[in-house]
Amino acid sequence: MGRRRTMWVGLAVAAAVAVAGCGADSPEKDERGGATRLTVGVGAGAFVAPLETTRFSDAGFDVKQQNVTSGSVAVPLVLNGQLQFSQADTVGALTAIAKGVPLVFVAAVTSTGAKADQDSTAILVKRDSGLKAAADLNGKKVGVNGIGGAAQIAAAAAIDKLGGDSTKVDFVELPPNSLTGAVADGTLAAAVTNRSEGQAEGLDPIIAPTAEAMPSAPLIVWVTSRQYAEKNPDVVKKFAAAAEKANDELSRDPERVRRIVVEKSTAKISPELAKTMALPQFAPTTIQRDRLQTIVDLMVQYKVMEKPISLDTVLLGS
């Protein structure tokens, strides 16, 4: 397991030990209108989109957004009650839960695409590299944003599925904003990163990793602490329902999502690029147990998780 993923889990476990039992027992009420006040952790760009709808206010919530840049930032804030809910990447959250961190999944934020053209990520190569297929990556350096993260797991599984051998691939961890440049200058043979942004830099996609390895699976999820969920079941249930309604609304209005990507992304996304880029899939459904199990199984297969975790410890209401 690489440094970044180890740090995510290490900090999350430390936080669980330090603040277990310290979370807020109940949410605050707005005395003026009776709305339930929530502070919610969100990522940048398209991930803000659900909270840009009116679904949460319609459900009686007064939501304050707090940007979170990683799980190591979000998890302690969720556990000590500063955040009632937060977005988290599924693989990182599952890894933390397997280590004893008392989180539960509430609802999906985004899911992986079911088809290649719905996959916002890709394994990208230089246009003149001669690399065309999974087997061509054997013996090559492939960049990912975190060893043991979703990008590496999906890439390894897709390479194996399509006739390559992931054990012969040298996965290298680099910051996300360095991946395309490292392919362009030859430091890496390929990288797993945003497909549209890579293509804008002159790279070619050869594999859609999440569509191949874990189609229609939850990629980013809403989490809360188990303590908060147990003490505030009605709030959590209403939040989950609002999240599903927000996703339904966004799934029907991709142009709105594109505008939010341009306005809210930390990277500079032009309106022209936003028009052509593959968007995150805001699936208007509850978290599908079988799809989540696929991710757990891949985490075990690729040695990110020592043994399977029971989804009864993960899913709300299990």
Write out pLDDT tens, residues 13-51.
444 444 444 555 566 665 455 899 999 999 888 899 999
Q: Of the candidates 66, 68, 67, 77, which has an alpha carbon nearest to the alpha carbon of residue 103?
A: 77
Q: Of the candidates 212, 199, 129, which has an alpha carbon nearest to the alpha carbon of residue 166?
A: 212
pLDDT digit string, tens, across residues 228-275: 999 999 999 999 999 999 999 999 999 999 999 898 877 778 888 888
Residues 203 and 226 occupy one common structural domain:
no
Which tops the pLDDT comparison, 126 or 8? 126
What range does the domain containing 122 cover? 116-213
**Is residue 318 in a domain?**
no
Q: What is the pTM of this model?
A: 0.88
**Is residue 223 in a domain?**
yes
Residues 7 and 107 occupy one common structural domain:
yes
Please tell me the predicted confidence (pLDDT) of residue 134: 99
**Is residue 44 in a domain?**
yes
**Is residue 124 in a domain?**
yes
CATH code at 207?
3.40.190.10
Residues 132 and 34 occupy one common structural domain:
no
**Is residue 182 in a domain?**
yes
pLDDT digit string, tens, across residues 175-213: 998 999 999 999 999 999 999 889 989 999 999 999 999
